[in-house]
Chains A and B, each alone.
Chain A
């Protein structure tokens, strides 16, 4: 068995009295691509944020490799460097060029020499196919290009694992493909990834495991093969068919 990179154990999180995560556990192994699906408002973003402590869980433990993440005891900023995060709405730094967006993490957080950091940033931008956009500001990039810069920015920190929170759901349909391509390349290169996404094509192709989250717990998980064709639970089947229907409606619209 491959070695676990991330272990989430029995996480609970309440917002204003409503429990969003109800004792959720999940282990992600080295090189694995886990795709998380589930209804809106079910706690998928909350789960990702509890992993790198952008949100503080009420209880439960998170381990990055052997290291338990404990605010106050572990250096949270050191942990976060090792966990790349890609947001739904990109969150690029608007006052910095694409190149500076990618380089600023290594420069400010890792105290890397500027020359080296810019070299690294150029390499990461090339990796997401944006070598020629290095000097552009976020406002001068398309949504797909912004998201690829955001991926390069996370990669520049050389993370052990990457978290993606619906990375394509803010994009126009014709821009989704370029981002998914970059993510597939990453997966093929062996990156450990946790991806919240309802792009079923991506899940089918790139996922090692699909996790169906509902009501704050893992309702079902398994290989894409099993989840798509042979789910154990009726709810899983319903959700998959609903998503597939919505996707095809979106595709039809695109054609029209």
Chain B
């Protein structure tokens, strides 16, 4: 037991650096996904003609292709077009674009679950369609989207491990490096797993607190009330 703890203490500085990179990737990709995903959701829900078609095409294309393909396209493919990205930005962009399609669908689901009568009532008061979306639909949709969105956060932290395929020094990549030096794959991966579990539990708890803070009577966000 003491041996294990000592081993952990010896590899912790290295793993910690990896964890920081994993979290950077997660935050960057989630924000990028939000910034692209929310407009895509609005375009797909409210847009007409080419605007809607563009959003549908984007979302389905991204969801229909493996993330690794997207990652490799951006890191190895873009240089052919003269766009050279460092590893970390390339990973953030790939993970962010991938996430944006899923986030768009979460947002769209939340928007569609709000009965359209409220939108009509807002327009009957004299609000423009944009005002109705901004003041009535979105504040409710953003609350409803918290549970699926928190799942996306958890997935994202785990998905960042694919970035080790383009040699981004995130948690998983550091683990692999350590293994190649210590030849202790089982113990190393055990501690990597423990770190993921602890971090993800903390995130889940924080999301839970946020959800409770924003809760409104009669507004069912997750299963419990």
Which chain B residues lie closer than 8 Å to A81 at the CB level? Answer: 125-126
Provide the residues of chain A in CB contact with B135, threshold 8 Å: 104, 108
Which of A52, A84, A93, A154 is B118 in contact with, Cβ under 8 Å?
A93
Which residues on the B side are within 8 Å of A186 (C-beta)? Answer: none
Q: How large is the interface on A (under 10, 10 to 19, 20 to 34, 35 or more residues)?
A: 20 to 34
A137 x B127 contact (CB < 8 A): no
Indicate whether B217 reaches chain A with its CB closer than 8 angstroms: yes
Question: Are B123 and A91 interface neighbours, CB within 8 A?
Answer: no
Closest to A49 in B: B120
Q: Name B127-149 residues within 8 Å CB distance of A.
A: 127-128, 131, 135-136, 139-140, 143
Assuming the A-B contacts A81-B125, A139-B218, are A93 and B117 also in contact, with contact meaning beta carbons closer than 8 angstroms in the complex? no
- Contacting pair A109 B126 (CB below 8 A): yes
Chain B residues, CB < 8 A from A157:
125-126
Q: Is the CB of A94 within 8 A of B118?
A: yes
Contacting residue for B127 out of A77, A84, A136, CB 8 A: A77
Interface membership of B165, Cβ < 8 A: no
Check: B56 CB closer than 8 A to any chain A CB: no
Verify A153–B217 contact, CB threshold 8 A: no
Q: How far apart are A100's CB and chain B's nearest CB, in angstroms?
A: 10
Chain A proximity of B130: nearest CB distance (Å): 11
**B143 in contact with A95 (CB, 8 Å):** yes
Bound-state CA distance A136–B216 (Å) is 10
CB within 8 Å for A139 and B127 given contacts A93-B121, A94-B118, A95-B143: no
Question: Hey, which bits of chain B sit against chain A, CB under 8 A?
Answer: 114-115, 117-118, 120-128, 131, 135-136, 139-140, 143, 216-219
Q: What are 29 residue pairs bridging A and B, where the CB atoms are less than 8 Å apart in the complex?
A: A54-B120, A54-B123, A54-B124, A77-B126, A77-B128, A83-B124, A87-B117, A89-B117, A92-B121, A93-B121, A94-B218, A95-B136, A95-B143, A95-B216, A95-B219, A104-B125, A104-B135, A105-B125, A105-B127, A108-B131, A108-B135, A109-B126, A136-B217, A139-B217, A139-B219, A140-B218, A154-B124, A154-B125, A157-B126
B-binding residues in A (CB < 8 A): 52, 54, 77-78, 80-81, 83-85, 87, 89, 91-95, 104-105, 108-110, 136-140, 150, 153-154, 157
